[in-house]
Amino acid sequence: MGIAGATTENRGDGLATMRVPFVDLKRQAVDLRAEFDAAIASVIERAAYTMGPELQQFEDAFAALCGCSHAVGVSSGTDAVKLALLAAGVRPGDEVIVPANTFIATAEAVSHIGATPVFVDCLSGTGLMDPVGVGPAVTPRTTAVVPVHLYGQTVDMDALAEVASRHGLAIVEDACQAHGATYKGRPAGSLGVSAAFSFYPGKNLGALGDGGAVTTNDPDAAELVRLYRNHGQDDKYTHRVIGYCDRLHNLQAALLLVKLPRLAGWNEARRNAARDYDSALAGTHGLTVTRLGDGVEAVYHLYVVMVEDRDGVRQRLGERGVESGIHYPVPLHLQPAYDGLGYGAGDFPVAERRAQRILSLPMFPEIETAQRAHVVAALEQALA
């Protein structure tokens, strides 16, 4: 169908000349350079590098965004999942249910604390954790479940909460791709006992390096995360628990404070781009668009479609200047790192089928109408 108001130039061989990056981090950096420079200079002038005032300011502001009483800045999204699980009472020898269709960091965090990830399949329409599969995966050792709000939309939390309540499981959200997403009007990050966010540079809210946060409405959980992230100390050289060096650096917090007020506008720009894609790709033969769950307002960290001959389509897109991604090509139960858990091909057929067909199209707040139009035209040509 195409996107109205945009044209694409072609070379003599019929291939389009426009380059569309998968994500363009330079645009934001250029636009915000003066404010970044001022934030960095302020931190340097005061030598406030660790546990400084900018960190507290960012934590307060991010907690408010997530509708939570507490946000605790940590060193990465992976560490955020790890510390949130520890604060929820997960211990070595426990089992934690995670989706097979996600990045390995979710399962790694479980493994890092000596617990065992137990995988469940995803829904074919959304790619998100299937709550129906959670109940049968529960054993006497299961203490928590980690729904991953993949691609920037939330899991069906009502269905999951019913299963978790029935089995006495703590829900720890992996919201690392869902900054600002909502489920039935409630923000991601406020839908479980706690939640983990990532500020990896490519996220909807990204630092200029690694970073993360744990959000919660439980003051005891927040206090535990604050202890764990900083060597277990509540005052200098008094260590209540064996902790970690998992702090969010004050410099990154200062940079995130520059970005945070713009997040809502950036998310709306992503939604506008997604609406363009939805409209232009509707009815395209050989392509399935990831659907939204009921009650979800997504923030489109990724825009994911499914196609046959995915690798061939991706190559042909590249020939037309369009970069793309695959999120994720190998389900977790088939990763070599988890061979020892005894899973095999065929255990989670929906995740396995998606892994062979999923393709992520360019998505970032600054993507222009002409670029979106070129992506659509190139995709239609690649499918043909």
pLDDT of 3: 67
The pairing of strands 233-235 and 116-120 is unpaired
pLDDT of 6: 43
- Residue 169's contacts (CB-CB under 8 Å, 6 or more residues apart) are 97, 134, 138, 142, 143, 144, 145, 163
pLDDT of 234: 86
Question: And the tokens for 5?
Answer: 């108001």
Say which CATH superfamily domain 262-383 falls into: Aspartate Aminotransferase, domain 1 (3.90.1150.10)
pLDDT of 9: 57
Strands (E) across the chain are located at 70-74, 95-99, 116-120, 142-145, 170-174, 182-183, 186-187, 194-198, 212-216, 233-235, 238-239, 287-289, 296-297, 303-307, 358-361
Mean pLDDT by 10 residues, the chain (384 residues): 52 68 95 97 95 97 98 98 98 98 98 98 98 98 98 98 98 98 98 98 98 98 98 92 97 98 98 98 96 97 98 97 98 98 98 98 98 97 95
Per-residue model confidence as pLDDT tens digits over 55-85: 999 999 999 999 999 999 999 999 999 999 9
Question: And the tokens for 132?
Answer: 């129906």
138-148: buried (b, 16+ CB within 10 Å) or exposed (e) per residue? beeebbbbbbb
Per-residue model confidence as pLDDT tens digits over 269-310: 999 999 999 999 999 999 999 999 999 999 999 999 999 999
Residues of the chain with CATH 3.90.1150.10: 262-383
pLDDT of 211: 98
CATH, range 31-261: 3.40.640.10
Identity of the residue numbered 325: G
Rounded-to-integer distance, Cα 133 and Cα 45, Å: 53
Specify the 3-state DSSP secondary structure of 73: strand
Q: List phi, psi (to 5°) of 212.
A: -165, 180
Burial of 167 (0-12, 13-18, 19+ CB in 10 A): middle
pLDDT of 246: 98
Question: And the tokens for 112?
Answer: 């890092």
Residues of the chain with CATH 3.40.640.10: 31-261
Torsion angle, alpha carbons of 53, 78, 204, 208, to 10: 50
Residue with tokens 């991604």: 325
Which is nearest to 271 in space by CA: 236, 246, 247, 296? 296
- Residue 179's contacts (CB-CB under 8 Å, 6 or more residues apart) are 65, 188, 197, 203, 204, 205, 263, 267, 299, 301
pLDDT of 7: 42
Identity of the residue numbered 86: L
Residue with tokens 């232009």: 280
Which is nearest to 199 in space by CA: 222, 181, 182, 176? 176
